[in-house]
């Protein structure tokens, strides 16, 4: 459900050379729909070379909360995602994690 508290965040990072994802996309795009009132990730999508990997990342992220310790989310991604795009995926996720609090502060606490 998209409403005024649902915000799309994106993060990008360069993919490692010589991978299928790199040949297809050049950069990793991670996109999250977040309820900014609760911090809950509602939907997730990314540019990986297989649908299985994209679904895995989405399942890992959906339901997580950006208000909870986001470093735990980074650690979890680092532990369970062992694909070649791991560094790019974590960089894109970190970009979103860094954007989120500033956006919430500017828009909910104004």
In DSSP terms, which residues pair with 28 in a beta bridge?
13
- For the domain 6-108, what is the CATH code? 3.30.390
Nearest 5°: the CA angle 29, 33, 36 is 130
pTM of this prediction exceeds 0.95: no
User: For the segment 87-104, what is each residue's pLDDT rounded down to a tens digit?
Assistant: 999 999 999 999 999 999
- Name the DSSP class of 10: E
User: For the segment 31-80, what is each residue's pLDDT rounded down to a tens digit?
Assistant: 999 999 999 999 999 998 889 999 999 999 999 999 999 999 999 999 99
Q: Where are the domains of the chain?
A: 6-108
Tell me the backbone φ, ψ of residue 29, rounded to 5 degrees.
-115, 125
């Amino acid at each position: 459900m998209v409403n005024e508290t649902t915000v799309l965040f994106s993060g990008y990072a360069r993919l490692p050379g010589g991978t299928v994802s790199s040949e297809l996309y050049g950069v990793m795009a991670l996109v999250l729909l977040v309820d900014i009132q609760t911090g809950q990730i509602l939907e997730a999508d990314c540019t990986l070379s297989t649908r299985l990997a994209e679904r895995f990342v989405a399942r890992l992220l959906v339901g997580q909360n950006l208000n909870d310790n986001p470093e735990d989310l980074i650690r979890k991604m680092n532990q369970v995602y062992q694909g070649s795009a791991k560094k790019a995926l974590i960089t894109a996720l970190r970009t979103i994690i860094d954007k989120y609090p500033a956006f919430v502060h500017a828009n909910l606490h104004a």
